[in-house]
Amino acid sequence: MKKILFTLLIVFLANYLQAQTSAPEATTATAGTLTVTYTIVSSTYINAVWIKSVTPASFVRTLTVFGQENKYNNELVKWTADSGTRNYTNAVTGATKASTAVMTSTWNGKDISNTTIVPDGDYTIKIEMTTETSGTNSKLVTGNFTKGPVAQTITPANVSPISNIKIAWAPASTTSINNLEMDKLYSVYPNPAVSSIYVSGLNIEGVDICSLSGKILIMSKESNVNISKLPKGVYLAVIYAKTGTVVKKIEKL
């Protein structure tokens, strides 16, 4: 009997630890808004902005396209290759641009059908432009960001004539009561910690441990989270509760 109980205990502990190991992909789907701004200094040009997931590398949706499809949109060769014969579904479209302009594209975090929020994780924004004289010799800007519960802003390098590029992810606030009140209701200890942290508070539904850039490293449905495999450093503990979401900064020793 003791041997059987010992075996069951080992199985339980193994399953418990496995549930708290680092996950390669997030399974949560945070609502929010991505805003892409950039300037194109040119005349008579077309351009497209679209988004892909990093892992797996797959097309998510087109955000904006400017240019006449029956004229030379097929010269946006990179967008055509990624989207599969120029996929416009639920994209903002417009005419060919005739002068220098500051451009803005937004994304609501949803899939191509515009109905379901896509999983959190790493995504790539691509901006392509070309002129009638340049043809398929288009210019391309790429920038990676992490979709998740933490806001993030990146500024990819300019690729002339595309400049002043800013990609900003802003997660939606799910807090139903004042943020300051929420912050007081939840705590993380010990902090700093060596091997595990415990999150205290009411109606906790899960805890994510994220890098400061917002990348989800550990996902747990328990209040006690094993962080022993993380390198030393500062991280964010994102606490999900029925009343909202709270973010706490923690230190791993």
What are the DSSP calls for 2-55, one per residue?
A: HHHHHHHHHHHHHHHHHHTSBPSS------EEEEEEEEE--SSEEEEEEEEETT
Higher per-residue confidence, 188 vs 246? 188
Tens-place pLDDT, residues 64-123 = 999 877 665 678 999 999 998 788 899 999 888 889 988 989 999 999 999 888 999 999
180 pLDDT tier (thresholds 50, 70, 90): low
**Alpha helix segments (H runs only) across the chain:** 2-19, 77-83, 179-185
Give me the mean pLDDT over the 141-154 stretch.
Answer: 92
pLDDT of 7 > 70? The answer is no
What was the pLDDT predicted at 23?
Answer: 41
Tens-place pLDDT, residues 25-72 = 435 888 888 999 999 999 889 999 999 999 889 999 999 999 877 665
What was the pLDDT predicted at 227?
Answer: 96
Strand order in the sheet with 101-107: 101-107, 32-40, 162-171, 152-154
Q: Classify domain 2-26+174-252 at the CATH topology level.
A: Immunoglobulin-like (2.60.40)
Mean pLDDT of the chain: 83
What was the pLDDT predicted at 144?
Answer: 96
Domain boundaries, the chain: 2-26+174-252, 32-171
Please give the torsion angle defined by the CA atoms of residues 249, 207, 204 and 14, in that order, rounded to the nearest 10 degrees: -130
